Chain A
């Protein structure tokens, strides 16, 4: 499975959009990009995932570049409760083990 690179930390002002980047230059054609977040000592919360197209749900938007080598998670109006560690993950295909491999993630701090 492809590895991902994320900045270790980011700050965002409350009410502003938070844009979290992720590089996954070795992603293969049938590997999905997943985003999760973890608030201290809780189970990871699923945010969104995509394969090729941009995706949007009630929590966030996922923008994947055309070459699929990077993506951006957008939280449109960050609140204090969005403070968490955000993980960008390229999930292994079913035959390769199907699991999520977590890296260090980005610690997002939303400030008032």
Chain B
């Protein structure tokens, strides 16, 4: 069974440009999460999508946005790139809530990430 897949593996952009990162969750998973890990820093939560809707957002400016498609894949868009946006962007997935409130016992599995370099 395929794990969480992300593309591209590496991306180089110029300051001010836009970057788009893509994620395919594990088959059957409806929740997708995005994290940022800047070099030497910890993982910071960015976004959580469940069944097509944004459910939670971390402390990031609005130029970080994303969406989840009907097939539950997701993309993260970063507009007006700044040098400090250079980081490893990690996508993760889990079974979703099915529209109901559940305990958070559905394991979250991570992909290998996309490296974004802003020059």
Interface residues of A (CB under 8 A from B): 30-32, 34, 36, 41-46, 49, 51, 91-95, 97-105
> Quick check: which of B14-22, B62-70, B78-86, B104-112 contacts chain A, the rest being far away?
B104-112
Contacts of A95 in B (CB 8 A): 101
Q: Which of B82-108 contact A (CB under 8 A)?
A: 88, 90, 92, 97, 101-105, 107-108
Instruction: Tell me the number of A-to-B contacts counted with CB atoms below 8 Å.
Output: 67
Closest to B100 in A: A94
Contact of B56 (CB < 8 Å), options: A34, A46, A97:
A97
Contacts of B105 in A (CB 8 A): 32, 49, 51
Contacts of A104 in B (CB 8 A): 42
Closest to B103 in A: A30
Contact of A46 (CB < 8 Å), options: B44, B97, B109, B111:
B109
How many residues does chain B have at the interface if contact means C-beta atoms less than 8 Å apart? 29
Contacts of A30 in B (CB 8 A): 103
Q: Show 18 residue pairs from A and B whose CB-CB distance is below 8 angstroms, ordered by the A residue.
A: A32-B104, A32-B105, A36-B110, A41-B88, A43-B111, A43-B112, A43-B113, A46-B107, A51-B105, A93-B104, A94-B97, A94-B104, A97-B48, A98-B50, A99-B33, A101-B45, A102-B42, A102-B44
A57–B44 Cα distance when bound, in Å, is 28
Which 10 residue pairs across A and B have the least CB separation, nearest first? Answer: A43-B110, A97-B56, A102-B43, A99-B45, A43-B112, A91-B104, A44-B110, A102-B42, A43-B113, A98-B104
Contact of A32 (CB < 8 Å), options: B48, B92, B103, B112:
B103
